[in-house]
Chains A and B, each alone.
Chain A
């Protein structure tokens, strides 16, 4: 009997620099598994963001480019336009994608660029030391909102999946979470779908992954998982927000995440 569980070929056999309890490792693994399953490693180019995942190319085993802060979707556009045969994905955090890179992601999605974005939403800036992100929750304490995020001054958290789904151009937009095995299984399916749409040259695809940052949230890994489920999931409903076949969907109205 062969091995039932093994490290994906697309994943390097090294220890990561991520903090204990961080969900980046899970997200990396889902991407690597999907690239293996679809047989894409030889023609994939990943794009690393600026943020904790800036060194994520150390954990994958295929071609990679490293972007400036927020600019990964523009780089992916450049690659995909001149080499449509390549499989291209950006891996971006919430500061990178929803703050400084808001323009790049919206326009790339609206042009229908045929690449995939893995969007890690952990409601905080990780690498720079826990500053407030556009996705930080109301009253969430961060190093730049020491008294809690005051929405009267900084607005409400940005819902990227909903925002991008408002665009008319066909796309696959989903939000899943990495905080329980059942959610991770759903996330895997969404990532698989996202890359499959790219392989078929169908549309832009983005999967937002609700994630944790125990270090910068000041919590144990277990408490962080609970906080994400209690505080983030009600505000960031999981599910498919847009598919090229069905158009816009409304996961918030349709189904509960805690099935």
Chain B
């Protein structure tokens, strides 16, 4: 199949179908409602399930119920909606069920605005809901990458039996770009007989399965948390992804940036290069696990004098950058979070201050 021009939200919707996910539950919220609109038409064509829930809270439990049966399922929402889903997400991680959540971020806090932002970094990467849990968080920087990440997300969720979150900003959802869809995934969750409540009659073992999150005995709950922690450590060892940009030259400043923001930074790096000024960038593609080693290595290059986190949030990504650089270089922050994407000129001015 060749390239087609698609809006990010619709491409994400189509990517899920091609990943073999025919079950979608959602509640409308700007700027990602096109996903639900697209799937309300498309899923019936392919014999799938589309349901508009009564709230994001309910949707997160529809996802839980369906995924606990061993069926591939996903939802999409935006910042305030994801806040409501965080309750369900905590339970789904505790119950070790696979599911995919897409957050097309808008500005916050509160109702905030409807324009692009990256202000849910902490919520996605550090928790959001209650208890000790982690999501595998993928951050696309283009519509094409969003498609690829959505299609990768389902097998990842099933491998780790953990929710995967696609963290995109509003621009990823709203802009149109050419995309090429990878081959359709055919695989289904393979180990589900061990845990899914799919009806005892469907299993050779004849054993019943329980999906639960209550552990009243402290030793058992601690053991459960250690088991989950071991899984998150395995993600750190196996799933870190990042992309370097202009890291070969003797750059004096290293940018760390992700998503749409990183594309603006690329433009700035290209502009400065034409003026003979070298600036490098590490773009995390996974936000959890965070590419600490890649950031540390790039920051430690002898030519590098300082590191700057450029983000559409008020200093969230920068904390993981600091934890990666570990004091080897001074770490700075620049960002905006009102729905405006900083312009190349604004970013260039900030970078020039550090040169």
Question: Which residues of chain A have a CB within 8 Å of any CB of chain B?
Answer: 41-45, 47-48, 54-55, 57, 61-68, 71, 74-79, 81-83, 85-86, 103-104, 107
Contacts and interface: CB of A to CB of B under 8 A. Distances in A.
A96 to B, nearest CB: 13
Contact of A68 (B49, B61, B73, B199): B61
Given A71-B88, A79-B65, A83-B71, A103 B54 contact: yes
A86 B212 contact: no
B337 interface: no
B303 interface: no
Given A45-B199, A74-B53, A103-B54, A66 B66 contact: no
Nearest to A46: B197
Interface of B: 23, 25, 49, 51, 53-55, 57-69, 71, 73, 87-88, 91, 95, 197-201, 208-214
B54 A107 contact: yes
A104 B54 contact: yes
B214 A64 contact: no
A55 B95 CA distance: 15
Contacts of A57: 210, 212
Nearest to B212: A66
A239 to B, nearest CB: 29
B209 A78 contact: no
A107 B58 contact: yes
Contact of B69 (A41, A45, A103, A104): A45
Nearest to A78: B65
A81 B208 contact: no
B58 A66 contact: no
B87 to A, nearest CB: 6
A258 B91 CA distance: 44
B132 to A, nearest CB: 17
Given A43-B201, A64-B208, A82-B73, A77 B68 contact: no
9 contacts: A65-B197, A66-B212, A66-B214, A71-B58, A78-B65, A81-B62, A82-B73, A83-B71, A85-B199
A62 B66 contact: no
A64 B68 CA distance: 10
Contact of B65 (A43, A55, A62, A77): A77
B74 to A, nearest CB: 12
Nearest to A113: B51
Contacts of B91: 68
Contacts of A42: 199-201
A85 B201 CA distance: 11
Contact of A71 (B23, B57, B197, B198): B57
A32 B9 CA distance: 46
Contacts, number: 123
Contacts of A71: 57-58, 61, 64, 88
Contacts of A74: 53, 57-62, 64-65
A42 B213 CA distance: 23
Given A44-B199, A63-B199, A75-B64, A81 B49 contact: yes
A82 B199 contact: no
A65 to B, nearest CB: 4
Nearest to B213: A66
A85 B198 CA distance: 10
Contact of B66 (A61, A63, A81): A81
B190 to A, nearest CB: 18
Nearest to A81: B49
A243 B69 CA distance: 30
B352 to A, nearest CB: 51
Contacts of B53: 74, 77, 107
A107 B198 CA distance: 24
Nearest to A87: B199
A79 B66 contact: yes
A104 B87 CA distance: 14
B210 A64 contact: yes
A74 B200 CA distance: 22
Contacts of A65: 64-65, 68, 197, 210-212
Contact of B73 (A41, A47, A76, A78): A78
A43 B54 contact: no
Contact of B198 (A47, A61, A83): A83
Contacts of B199: 42-45, 63, 83, 85-86
A47 B95 CA distance: 14
A77 B62 contact: yes
A89 to B, nearest CB: 12
Nearest to B90: A68
Contacts of B198: 63, 83, 86
A65 B197 CA distance: 7
Given A63-B209, A71-B58, A78-B61, A54 B214 contact: yes
Contacts of A104: 54, 57-58, 61
Contacts of B212: 48, 57, 64-66
